[in-house]
Amino acid sequence: MSKETDVIVDNNLSPDDIYGELYKEVQLKHIFGDTKTFVDCVPKICSKDILKFYNEKKDLSNFDLSKFIHEYFNLPNLVEKNFSSDLTMSTVDHINCLWDILTRPADIPTLESSKIALPYPYIVPGGRFREIFYWDSYFTMLGLSTLPNKLNLIENMIDNFVNLINKYGFIPNRNRTYYLNRSQSPCFVLYD
């Protein structure tokens, strides 16, 4: 629990469980072009207050759902959006250039976020995918293993998976609460 707000910082609820009707309205009205955007938003205040304000305002004639969402949520960033490929690079050099762009630092637990905070740096697929992918990480680590200066990152990613196993008893498909109901092929046993 957070001392300042008395809300759960690290929860296991997915955004549809937390926001109910608000979640459905945002998705059905296509407030964002991608349904993943809202579930990855981070609330600016506790969900209880957001829902209270939503219920007070939703039936008003001038209610604007999009404005409401932008007022009470921080939208996810595409960190590598300014990246452009150098077409003169070899495939290997291009991939090696991407490692630093796709590396994320250890997460700081965030108020009622769908992201499950990981204690060590990790690699994400990029674009709209801002979280670690269990299955993909095996192949990511195979690529990283060819670079001596990235071996520590492999260890960090494995330690993140151990952390998830210790916390949930398995490795979710991704480090998001909305993936706590599924995993992927048990490739953790392949990490050596």
Q: Which sequence spans correspond to the domains of the chain?
A: 15-74, 91-190
Average pLDDT over residues 115-124: 94
pLDDT of 5 higher than 50:
no
Instruction: Provide the residue type at 161 as one letter.
Output: F
Q: Count Cβ atoms below 10 Å from residue 4 Cβ, excluding itself.
A: 7
Distance CA 123, CA 131 (A): 8
- Token representation of residue 114: 């769908």
Cβ–Cβ under 8 Å, residues 109 and 78: no
Query: Which residues, including other chains, have CB under 8 Å from residue 41's CB and lie 6 or more apart?
Result: 15, 69, 73, 74, 75, 76
Distance CA 35, CA 9 (A): 23
Kindly report, residue by residue over 33-88, the tens digit of the pLDDT: 999 999 999 999 999 999 999 999 999 999 999 999 999 999 987 666 667 788 89
Name the pLDDT band for 1 (thresholds 50, 70, 90). very low
